[in-house]
């Protein structure tokens, strides 16, 4: 909304360098980023959505301001947060990359600390050579095609309980192995709690938890 159009002169009026940013595929606040974000802290999450859906980059000053103000998202109603999060998951060409960005700027830790906890949770390398639980889950999100909310949230939360169930066991051959006993059952309970917190409908919660 920083650009104006004069229909009589068929002319775009740009006082803020917006056309140049569009050409460079750049997301930038108008003026002081800290002030713009403080006007409505939902802009923290909207910036991530615009960046991920349009496949634009965040301007370094805007990215730094989002990181500084990330805890401001707690002042926004959960219903507005859920709308932005759900759109990120189903509209982004690479939803996993979008959540990596949320993690980098400190928003994922504020909104979904259970998902942030999956980072650096190791898995048995013979079964998961791709890396930790967070990496595994983000790769799956990136592979979605024509997703709906049930699929997107099911992928996002399918290993949500691994960090809280992780245990190292000694196998019969004397080797060590990381196991996640009952992580599916406990994950379903955690998923129900998280989605109820996000105020999704009862049917959506039940479908994803199942």
Using CA atoms, how far apart are residues 129 and 135, in angstroms rounded to an integer? 10
Q: What are the Cα distances from residue 109, in Å, to 21, 93, 104, 149?
A: 29, 22, 9, 21
Q: For residue range 63-103, what is the model confidence (pLDDT) as tens digits? A: 999 999 999 999 999 999 999 999 999 999 999 999 999 99
Q: Is the pLDDT of residue 108 over 90?
A: yes
Predicted pLDDT of residue 190 = 98
Please classify residue 39 by burial: count the beta carbons closer than 10 Å to its beta carbon, then call 0-12 exposed, 13-18 middle and 19+ buried: exposed
Please classify residue 86 by burial: count the beta carbons closer than 10 Å to its beta carbon, then call 0-12 exposed, 13-18 middle and 19+ buried: middle
Q: What are the Cα distances from residue 25, in Å, to 20, 21, 42, 92, 100?
A: 8, 6, 21, 15, 19
Predicted pLDDT of residue 58 = 98
CB atoms within 10 A of CB 138: 26
Q: Is the pLDDT of residue 1 over 80?
A: no
**pTM of the entire structure?**
0.92
Lookup: tokens for 38: 């403080």
């Amino acid at each position: 909304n920083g650009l104006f159009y004069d229909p009589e002169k068929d002319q775009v009026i740009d006082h803020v360098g917006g056309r140049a940013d569009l050409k460079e595929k750049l997301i930038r606040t108008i003026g002081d980023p800290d002030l713009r974000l403080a006007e409505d802290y939902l802009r923290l999450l909207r910036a991530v959505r615009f960046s991920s859906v349009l496949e634009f980059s965040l301007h370094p000053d805007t990215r730094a301001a989002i990181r500084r103000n990330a805890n401001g998202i707690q002042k926004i109603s959960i219903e507005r947060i859920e709308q932005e999060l759900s759109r990120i998951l189903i509209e982004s060409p690479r939803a996993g990359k979008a959540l990596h960005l949320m993690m980098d700027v400190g928003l994922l830790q504020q909104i979904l600390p259970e998902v942030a906890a999956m980072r650096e949770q190791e898995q048995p390398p013979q079964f998961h050579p791709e890396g930790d639980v967070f990496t595994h889950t983000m790769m799956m999100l990136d592979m979605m095609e024509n997703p709906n909310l049930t699929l997107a949230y099911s992928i996002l939360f399918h290993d949500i309980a691994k960090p809280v169930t992780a245990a190292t066991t000694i196998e019969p051959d004397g080797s060590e192995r990381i196991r996640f006993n009952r992580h599916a059952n406990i994950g379903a309970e955690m998923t129900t709690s998280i989605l109820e917190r996000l105020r999704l409908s009862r049917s959506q919660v039940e479908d994803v938890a199942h």
